[in-house]
């Protein structure tokens, strides 16, 4: 069994009175893709946002339980949230590049940490190569990131997250706003990236989870009802026919 | 023509009529001011001091006065307004305090400008002992411009998509870095729009500076912010109400009006060019 980079222990979350996550225990294994699936409103995006403490932004959210990142509970009071967020990158549902140049989008995470210019230049190129965007944008790094297509913007957001050299990347339905071709490209990219980083992806699309993930967690009404290797999970049994024992 | 088409025809043409009337007012306004004051404009009118009890000569001291009052008051109210708006948008705690500030701002926005003049007289001229000076007048105008500044800045900051803020925080930025590097630069063009409106307002106000900065007549240019100055709007008022040579004073008043219009246009144009350049760099 591989190590779990990140795992939760009896994680509970309330929005005001509403109990959104109930005693969730989920491991996210190193250098694997774990998919979170389930119907709308089941709490999968909320669970994802617990891993980089983005739920801190919502004043009504109350969290109980533990989330371990490399055996360190990130909800301990003395934890530096900004450090957690550099170790845990995030890509959102809608591509959200800053209204800055392509270069400055990737450089953002490094600039705010006061990295040297030479390091930034190197990392920008490396991250863009890792997200398969380099050849498309290398001649126009100073153009606005918003001049890119939707699929390119989303890969830019992946590159921006990679520039922080995170241990794990959270993807929140990253292809739901994209066309099929761009979607396929992002899926392929995920398969490639898992050699270097751990990936946790929320998706509406069960077929997508089946295509790319190694592990799948099935959420329903704030409960994690099933977790296991994707090929053994029940939703895919139905797609692939009954399991032969 | 069917009944529906007829209604459409009447509707569209009614709208055309309205816009023509609006345009007419605007053109008429410019025509009246420029036809009566345009012939006064010359280098000596702009760059000389008034002579012979303001019946001859130029208006240079008034231009300088209005220029400094506008620049300094915007220089004070812009940062104050922006920082206030940042607090209200990004932190907004405690809620009752922010609500109180907002009510205060909206009340201030509705106060007649002459009352600002009295306020400035009491606080800046007498209490803080700035006397009648550029400083006292600028501060009074800054208070006047503040509500517009805050509202425009708040509007601009709220217009920045939440996505940008989340993206920045998710990359490990602090709240401060997010405000300085993402929120403010993105909102800047719209903040500048508010500034442009304020410039026009501040440069043209007479009442707030009546008791705080303006002097009736001086040939001297200000040497420090503690000097009293001539200002364009008050100069017009003085020319039209004081003195015994109406035949000579009235054309000067209209000439002054043309210069005031041009000055406001000039300062606004600079702000618009700055805004255009920022927008060009970061369109989305």
> pLDDT-derived band of residue B275, with 50, 70 and 90 as boundaries?
confident
Contacting A residues, span 74-103, partner chain B, CB-CB under 8 Å: 82-86, 89-90, 92, 94, 96-100
Helix/strand/coil for A144: strand
Closest CA to A161 of A100, A90, A94: A90
Terminal Cα-to-Cα distance of chain B (whole angstroms): 44
Say yes or no: A123 contacts chain B, CB-CB below 8 A: no
Q: Is B239 exposed, middle or buried (0-12, 13-18, 19+ CB in 10 A)?
A: buried
Could you identify the residue written with the tokens 């001049």?
A147
Could you tell me which residues of chain B have a Cβ less than 8 Å from any Cβ in chain A? 161, 163-164, 166-174, 177, 181-182, 186, 281-284
Distance from C-alpha of A215 to C-alpha of A32, rounded to nearest angstrom: 8
Q: Using CA atoms, how far apart are residues A52 and B196, in angstroms rounded to an integer? A: 41
- The pLDDT confidence band at residue A81, using thresholds 50, 70 and 90, is very high
The string of pLDDT tens digits covering residues B173-184 is 999 999 999 999
In this predicted model, what pLDDT tens digit does every residue of B59-72 receive, in sequence order? 899 999 999 999 99
* Cα distance between residue A217 and residue A204, in whole Å: 12
Does residue B3 surpass a pLDDT of 60? yes
B198: left (phi over 0), alpha (psi -120 to 50) or beta: alpha
Q: Do the beta carbons of residue A37 and residue A218 sit within 8 Å?
A: yes
Tell me if chain B has a CB within 8 Å of the CB of A146: yes
- In this structure, which topology does domain B61-281 adopt according to CATH? MetI-like fold (1.10.3720)
How large is the average pLDDT for residues B181-196?
A: 89
Q: Note whether A85 contacts B186, CB cutoff 8 Å.
A: no
State yes or no: pLDDT of A242 exceeds 70: no
Position B156 scores a pLDDT of: 93
Whether B171 sits inside 8 A of A98 (CB atoms) is: no
In tens, the pLDDT along B20-56 reads 999 999 999 999 999 998 888 888 888 888 887 777 7
Query: What is the DSSP-derived secondary structure letter of residue B221?
Result: P
The span from the CA of B111 to the CA of B103, in Å, is: 13
Q: What is the pLDDT of residue B219?
A: 74
Please provide the DSSP assignment of chain A as one string. Answer: ---EEEEEEEEEEEETTEEEEEEE--EEETT-EEEEE-STTSSHHHHHHHTTTGGGG-TTEEEEEEEEETTEETTSTT--HHHHHHHEEEE-SS----SSBHHHHHHHHHHTTT--HHHHHHHHHHHHHHTT-HHHHTT-TTSBGGGS-HHHHHHHHHHHHHTT--SEEEEESTTTTS-HHHHHHHHHHHHHHTTTSEEEEE-S-HHHHHHH-SEEEEEETTEEEEEEEGGGSHHHHHHH-PPP-
* CA–CA distance, B57 with B36 (Å, rounded to integer): 17
Whose tokens are 């812009």? That residue is B78
| B76/B146 Cα distance (integer angstroms) | 9
> ipTM score of the complex?
0.90
Q: CA-CA distance, B215 to B237, in Å (whole number)?
A: 12
Q: Which two tokens stand for residue B156?
A: 């601009």
Q: Which single residue is written with the structure tokens 């405690």?
A: B94
Alpha-carbon dihedral A131, A132, A137, A142, rounded to 10 degrees: 10
Q: Is the Cα torsion angle A102, A106, A109, A113 positive or negative in sign?
A: negative
Q: How many CB pairs under 8 A join A and B?
A: 70
Which of B50 and A2 is assigned the larger pLDDT? B50
CA-based torsion, B34, B40, B46, B49: positive or negative: negative
Q: Which of A99, A109, A146 sits opposite B171 (nearest CB)?
A: A109
Q: Within 10 A of A90 (CB to CB), how many other CB atoms are there?
A: 26
* Contact flag A89-B166 (C-beta cutoff 8 Å): no
Residue-level length of chain A: 245
Q: Which residues pair with A226 in a beta bridge?
A: A218
Q: CA torsion, points B235, B236, B242, B246, in degrees to nearest 10?
A: 130
pLDDT at A53 over 50: yes
Average pLDDT score over residue span B84-95: 88
Beta carbons of A112 and B177 less than 8 Å apart: yes
> Can the peptide bond before residue B5 be classed as cis, meaning omega within 30 degrees of 0?
no
Q: Which domains does chain A have, with CATH numbers?
A: 4-240 (3.40.50.300)
pLDDT at B128: 92
Rounded distance between C-alpha atoms, residue B236 and residue B66, angstroms = 12
Q: Evaluate if residue B283 carries a pLDDT over 70.
A: no
Contact A52 B170 (CB under 8 A): yes
Q: Which residues have C-beta within 8 Å of that of residue B105, sequence separation ≥ 6?
A: B146, B147, B150, B151
């Amino acid at each position: 069994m591989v190590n779990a980079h990140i795992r939760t222990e009896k994680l509970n979350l309330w929005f005001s009175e509403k109990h959104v996550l109930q005693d969730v225990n989920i491991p996210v294994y190193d250098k694997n893709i774990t998919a979170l699936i389930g119907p709308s409103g089941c709490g999968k995006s909320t669970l994802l946002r617990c891993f980089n403490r983005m739920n801190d932004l919502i004043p009504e959210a109350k969290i109980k339980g533990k989330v371990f990142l490399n055996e360190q509970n990130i909800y301990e009071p003395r934890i530096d949230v900004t450090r957690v967020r550099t170790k845990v990158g995030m890509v959102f549902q809608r591509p959200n590049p800053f209204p800055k140049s392509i270069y400055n989008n990737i450089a953002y995470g490094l600039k705010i940490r006061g990295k040297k210019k030479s390091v930034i230049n190197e990392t920008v190129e490396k991250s863009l190569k890792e997200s398969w965007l380099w050849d498309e944008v290398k001649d126009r790094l100073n153009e606005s990131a918003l001049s890119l297509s939707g699929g390119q913007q989303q890969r830019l957001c992946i590159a921006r997250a990679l520039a922080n050299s995170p241990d794990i990347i959270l993807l929140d339905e990253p292809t739901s706003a994209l066309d099929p071709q761009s979607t396929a490209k992002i899926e392929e990219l995920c398969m490639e990236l898992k050699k270097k980083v751990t990936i946790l992806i929320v998706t509406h699309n069960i077929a997508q989870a089946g295509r790319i993930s190694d592990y799948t967690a099935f959420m329903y009404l704030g409960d994690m009802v099933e977790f296991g290797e994707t090929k053994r999970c029940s939703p895919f049994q139905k797609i692939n026919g009954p399991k032969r024992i | 023509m069917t009944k529906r088409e007829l209604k459409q025809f009447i509707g569209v043409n009614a709208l055309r009529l309205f816009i023509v009337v609006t345009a007419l007012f605007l053109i008429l306004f410019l025509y009246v001011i420029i036809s009566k004051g345009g012939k006064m404009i010359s280098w000596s009118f702009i760059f000389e001091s008034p002579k012979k009890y303001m019946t001859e000569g130029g208006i240079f001291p008034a231009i300088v006065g209005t220029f400094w009052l506008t620049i300094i008051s915007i220089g004070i109210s812009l940062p104050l307004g922006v920082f206030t708006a940042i607090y209200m948008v990004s932190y907004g705690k405690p809620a009752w305090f922010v609500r109180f500030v907002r009510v205060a701002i909206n009340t201030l926005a509705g106060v007649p400008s002459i009352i600002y003049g009295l306020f400035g007289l009491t606080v800046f001229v007498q209490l803080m002992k700035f006397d009648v000076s550029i400083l006292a007048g600028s501060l009074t105008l800054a208070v006047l411009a503040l509500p517009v500044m805050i509202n425009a800045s708040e509007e601009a900051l709220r217009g920045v998509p939440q996505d940008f803020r989340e993206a920045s925080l998710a990359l490990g930025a602090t709240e401060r870095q997010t405000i300085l590097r993402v929120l403010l630069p993105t909102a800047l063009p719209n903040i500048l729009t508010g500034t442009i409106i304020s410039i026009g307002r501040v440069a043209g106000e007479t009442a707030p500076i009546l008791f705080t900065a303006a002097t009736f007549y001086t040939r001297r240019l200000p040497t420090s912010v503690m000097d009293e100055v001539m200002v364009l709007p008050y100069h017009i008022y003085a020319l039209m109400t004081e003195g015994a040579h109406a035949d000579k004073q009235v054309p000067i008043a209209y000439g002054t009006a043309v210069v005031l219009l041009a000055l406001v246009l000039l300062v606004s144009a600079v702000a618009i060019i700055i805004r255009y350049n920022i927008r060009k760099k970061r369109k989305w």
